[in-house]
Amino acid sequence: GNSVTQMEGPVTLSEEAFLTINCTYTATGYPSLFWYVQYPGEGLQLLLKATKADDKGSNKGFEATYRKETTSFHLEKGSVQVSDSAVYFCALSAFGGGADGLTFGKGTHLIIQP
């Protein structure tokens, strides 16, 4: 079956530090990959996506590249801000299973200290 594994949190960084949150996946076929973010007290929001191998998704300074050879979609940001503190979820959507539902990782809680 489909699954997503992401690094355990919480991840605590100082402002302006470099961020990497690792995400690897297992899927049949060729999934699309997503990062969602959940800020405190808010619903999940799409942060970025990539639909095929070697695509790079980017938004708000965050980037992730779809690496088929390593089945990975790591999230990166060059200089984090306190406002980036949130829970980040890696997810995949694999058609062919017919469910059209996203499979999420467990989430990584990111804490940015001033």
Partner 1 sequence: DTGVSQDPRHKITKRGQNVTFRCDPISEHNRLYWYRQTLGQGPEFLTYFQNEAQLEKSRLLSDRFSAERPKGSFSTLEIQRTEQGDSAMYLCASSLDGQLNSPLHFGNGTRLTVT
Amino acid at 51: T
Q: Which is nearer to partner 1, 14 or 63 (CB)?
A: 63
Q: Enumerate the β-bridge partners of residue 93.
A: 32
Decide if 52 contacts 71 (C-beta within 8 A): no
Decide if 110 contacts 22 (C-beta within 8 A): no
Q: Which is nearer to partner 1, 5 or 85 (CB)?
A: 5
Rounded to whole angstroms, how far apart are CA atoms 74 and 11?
14
Site string for partner 1, 23-52 (x = CB under 8 A): ---------x--------xxxxxx--x-x-
Q: For partner 1, how many residues bind (rule: CB under 8 A)?
A: 23
Q: Which is nearer to partner 1, 73 or 89 (CB)?
A: 89
Contact call for residue 106 and partner 1 (CB under 8 A): yes
Rounded to whole angstroms, how far apart are CA atoms 65 and 105?
17
Taking the complex as a whole, how short is the minimal distance between the CB of residue 65 and partner 1, in angstroms? 18
Contact call for residue 102 and partner 1 (CB under 8 A): yes
Rounded to whole angstroms, how far apart are CA atoms 86 and 57?
19
**Applying CB under 8 A, which residues contact partner 1?**
4, 32, 41-46, 49, 51, 89, 91, 93, 98-107
